Amino acid sequence: MSERIRVALVNDYELVLRGLAHMLEPFADRLEIVQLDARSRVTVDVDVALYDTFAQPEPDDEDVSRLAANPRIRTVAVFTWKMDRDLIAAAVARGATGYFAKSLTGEQLADGLLRVAAGDRVLGTPRRRVPSGPGVDWPGREHGISDRQSEILALITQGKRNTEIAELTHLSPNTVKTHIRTLYSKIGARTRVEAALWGTEHGFRPDHRGIDRLAT
């Protein structure tokens, strides 16, 4: 394999893909980003598909399987804040050979992708949700929204109820309510409808064709 590898970035959100591409941009001598489109499946040959799990707090096993089954993709890696042992094992069982924490620097992520492309299995250390590392971006950051609040807003924009958000994020219902109150104050929303509208207007509505689904 040549020193430079081909990487597809995968997520339902264009803003997330752009942020991830920006994080990896300094390593263009080693990584070529060949596909960056939340509206279509991977349609070119790539060494690694990097699946960013933003607004899918637990990596979806079917998404990993779908990517791993795509003949255009040599292998799959996951990029996530959630480093639960069971989630790592499930992703590996579905075909992922890389599982990276969002606490990594861009250089560490690039090195991990190169190792995965070379045939290594590179799995992060199981632990609780990790803090964001330098260079990691997320929708709403420029408005003072934290990474956790950003995911919660994305789930609100998807129509999830507080109980569902608590289950997906492994937070208590009271903690979810606290995050939502803080979030509302940051975006100037008074109701859930206003928060969802703000989210829609600022790129928080996903395109669910993005995780390598066939067009219908």
Q: Is the pLDDT of residue 25 over 60?
A: yes
Mean pLDDT for the stretch of residues 1-6: 75
pLDDT of residue 215: 45
Under a CB-based contact definition with an 8 Å cutoff, are residues 57 and 29 in contact? no
Q: Do 136 and 18 contact (CB within 8 A), yes or no?
A: no
User: pLDDT tens digit string along 86-131?
Assistant: 889 999 999 999 999 999 999 999 999 999 999 999 999 988 778 8
Q: Distance (Å, rounded) from C-alpha 161 to C-alpha 166?
A: 9
pLDDT value for 207: 66
The DSSP letter of residue 33 is: E
Q: Residue 58: pLDDT band by 50, 70, 90 thresholds?
A: low
Count CA atoms closer than 13 A to 124's CA, side-chain side.
Answer: 27
Cβ–Cβ under 8 Å, residues 66 and 146:
no
**Structural element, H or E, at residue 89:** helix 85-93
Q: What is the pLDDT of residue 59?
A: 57
Which domains are seen in the chain, by residue range? 5-123 (3.40.50.2300), 141-201 (1.10.10.10)
Residue type, 96: A
What pTM was computed for the model?
0.87
Q: Give yes or no for residue 61 having a pLDDT over 80.
A: no
Measure the CA–CA gap between 83 and 127, rounded to whole angstroms: 5
State the average pLDDT for the chain. Answer: 89
Q: What is the 3-state secondary structure (H, E, C) of 44-68?
A: CCEEEEEEECCCCCCCCHHHHHHHH
Res 30 pLDDT > 70 = yes
Tell me the C-alpha distance between 55 and 210, whole Å: 13
What's the pLDDT tens digit per position in 39-57? 678 888 999 999 998 887 5
Alpha carbon distances (Å) from 133 to 72, 79, 137, 186, 193: 30, 12, 9, 22, 32
User: What is the pLDDT, as a whole number, of residue 169?
Assistant: 82
Q: What is the mean pLDDT of residues 23-28?
A: 96
